[in-house]
Amino acid sequence: MRSYGDGHCDTIVRIYEKGQELFCNDGHIDIQRLTNYKAPLQFFAIWLEPRYYPIAMRQTMKYIEFYYNQIQKNADLIGHINCFDDLEENKKKNKISALLSIEGGEALEGEISAIHTYHRLGVRSMSLTWNHRNQLADGVAEKDSKGGLTKFGRDAVAEMEQLGMIVDVSHLSEPGFWDVYNLAKRPFIASHSNAKTICDVPRNLTDNQMRAIADKGGVIGLNLYPPFLTTEKEVEVEDIFRHIHHILSVVGEDFVALGTDFDGIDCCPKGISDVKDMDYFFTEMENEYGEQVVEKICSKNLLRVLAEVI
């Protein structure tokens, strides 16, 4: 049985909105399917549709309450983690480890104190933006302004690092990315972004950005969304390998992880329909790169970041 660590999914928001359950649902991820792996780690992101921005904190709190309700219902199979020791305890019991994250600083509503509140509520990772500009920074969709972090964004990064929260630069504009790099004293991650050299879309990372993440000891999480893998054809596993091969050539095997974006994407590469199918992908990857590299990408690299930051 393989280990598994995924730095990003939108399952909690999806099942809340559809009135479904974490134990079993019709999306990409549920507890039943995660139990196919050995004590897996899953980041569960809280993402807000733009229609919720006027009530960002209120809606985020609803999702967080729902998340804990689902964890409590299935406490024999899954456990929330606040620190790396919690993950180690879950491993001993062969339980799924759930890490709560926030996708987009809109949830702060401009309040630094909100970072402390979310930290007390168990949030251990946050991406600074979604695609658009907010009070922290510009997202990748803001092509013309070329804006980086605001003063509030800089303060937020410093506060997150001080508290032991992982800074996530997926969706962040490139100037904002370099601001984070220049500020960061601890590893930061791009939880679900691929290689721009292989697929030139705004959500992917340049080689220099990937080197910068590696320089700080972070990881790049492979995103399975087909338009971020290739814009040319039907997407297959080989297209994911093209990104892996390139990232390995740029930064090496210690800085690649998984950030599937399951339940936040409307299609997947051929042969991967949900989290259970990732075992097939891992087997194919092992044939291509060997067991050591696969273990690092599957979980070890992401776990290293958790051990250093939270």
Q: What is the pLDDT of residues 154-175, one digit of tens each?
A: 999 999 999 999 999 999 999 9
Name the residue type at position 205: L
Q: Which residue has the tokens 């044939």?
A: 287
Q: What is the pLDDT of residues 71-96, one digit of tens each?
A: 999 999 999 999 999 999 999 999 99
Q: What is the pLDDT of residue 194?
A: 98
Q: What is the pLDDT of residue 233?
A: 83
Q: What is the CATH number of the domain that holds 117?
A: 3.20.20.140
pLDDT at 143 over 90: no
Alpha carbon of 178 to those of 7, 118, 140, 169, 192: distances in Å? 21, 25, 13, 10, 18
Distance CA 208, CA 260 (A): 22
- Three-state SS annotation for 297-310: HHHHHHHHHHHHHC
Contact 165, 122 (CB under 8 A): no
Q: Which domain holds residue 138?
A: 3-309
DSSP, collapsed to helix, strand or coil, labels residue 264 as coil
Q: What is the count of structural domains for the chain? A: 1
What value does the mean pLDDT of the chain take?
A: 97
Sign of the torsion angle spanned by Cα atoms 84, 89, 125, 37 = positive
Q: What is the pLDDT of residue 151?
A: 98
Distance CA 123, CA 306 (A): 13
pTM of the predicted model, to two decimals?
A: 0.97
